[in-house]
Chains A and B, each alone.
Chain A
């Protein structure tokens, strides 16, 4: 990985014991990648846009219809139901990407981070989101899954440098709610995003020099797919730094 560096492999995030007891199999993995200042929100290079074009060719209407019967999308759809979301309204990330592909006629390139996360979700079916690493407290327990309104720290967005606009790849749009008792992504200082939702703050911006990529796994999704999704996204970021 030239020009950028992924911190030593994905780290397993902490899951609130109440949540872990109720939803076994729910897990969060995250890693930090260093990037050149400003490159995270820059336009993607020709290699990445070419890859998106190639991935676009994989999708047909029938493929997308049948997606929900495949193991990984089915696992996420089931999990959505189990946490009170309707996957026919709040689409799971891989379906959301597929439907956007059908509507737009191809995967539209946005910026480096978004495209890297998009490649990861299309290739593996596992969603990846990105946060500015400066907004995440890496000290134990690090990034994890918890309930809003519990634990240490305020539940306001913990972002230090909120990037402009919605970024962070495969956002599920799973409702923006982080009301008390809702499932959230958090560190010891506060809430970063609702579960399967877009980050509230702390998205990578023009001053970002390190990006925290995180992914969510549920029961029925093999760990190797989660690791692959994170590595894929990190690899895309890394390849771009070498340009």
Chain B
């Protein structure tokens, strides 16, 4: 992408230099015109880069939301408050804009790779859960959390014996879903009935 922008800018400058009567070396006004054309080409390149940054930012935001919906813990590079501040707001030159564009492109690539990997892992877990439900005896004590399935909540699917030890001895296995998230403040004190 970077090469395309630079090539476009250089092509414009070359075209300006090749213009009849305006080529560099044919006079002061020609050199000035070439410099002006180069400036215009660079401004156009900056506009292109800003448009690319806008597109990448938009796609990165979508990837961030997708990762949140899929319960992917941390999308590397999508929101890292530990990153250093970049300083005051200013007009960026071509190099700085390219740097930001490249950084965003890298982050987007990483984010998409993580989302793709997580999609595969979650699909595998769902398939395993389906097999657990079909043949619980083959997957004794296997646990799959809702988070691993990309679902909300703290529940865990687990193959457990029915009726405890009896079930273990008799081979009665079942898939159970735990009740969910623990209470933030514990279960609290047990109520003691007032003495009469």
Contacts and interface: CB of A to CB of B under 8 A. Distances in A.
A177 B58 CA distance: 27
A86 to B, nearest CB: 6
A28 B65 CA distance: 31
Interface in B16-66: 43, 46, 50, 53-54, 57-58, 61-62, 64-65
Contact of B89 (A22, A74, A183): A183
Interface residues of B, number: 30
Contacts of A21: 43
B91 interface: yes
A3 interface: no
B85 A86 contact: yes
A74 B53 CA distance: 12
Nearest to B82: A89
Nearest to A80: B89
A175 B61 CA distance: 23
11 contacts: A66-B65, A78-B58, A82-B53, A82-B54, A82-B92, A83-B91, A88-B83, A147-B91, A178-B88, A182-B90, A183-B91
Nearest to B67: A65
Interface stretch (B73-81, B121-129, B161-169, B171-179): B73-81
Contacts of B53: 78, 81-82
Interface string A155-166: 000000000000
B91 A177 contact: no
Contacts of B43: 21-22
A242 interface: no
B79 to A, nearest CB: 5
A147 B50 CA distance: 19
A154 B58 CA distance: 39
Given A90-B85, A90-B86, A177-B88, 13 more contacts: A18-B91, A65-B64, A74-B58, A81-B57, A81-B100, A81-B104, A82-B92, A83-B91, A84-B86, A84-B96, A89-B85, A176-B88, A183-B90
A36 interface: no
Contact of B90 (A62, A65, A84): A84
Contacts of B46: 22
Given A88-B80, A88-B81, A88-B83, A69 B62 contact: yes
Nearest to A16: B91
A77 B61 contact: yes
B84 interface: yes
B182 interface: no
A147 B91 CA distance: 9
A23 interface: yes
A133 interface: no
A195 B87 CA distance: 12
A75 to B, nearest CB: 9
Contacts of A68: 61, 64-65
Given A62-B68, A82-B50, A88-B83, A196 B89 contact: yes
Contacts of A42: none
Contacts of B61: 68-69, 74, 77
A95 B92 CA distance: 24
A89 B90 contact: no
B25 to A, nearest CB: 30
B68 A78 contact: no
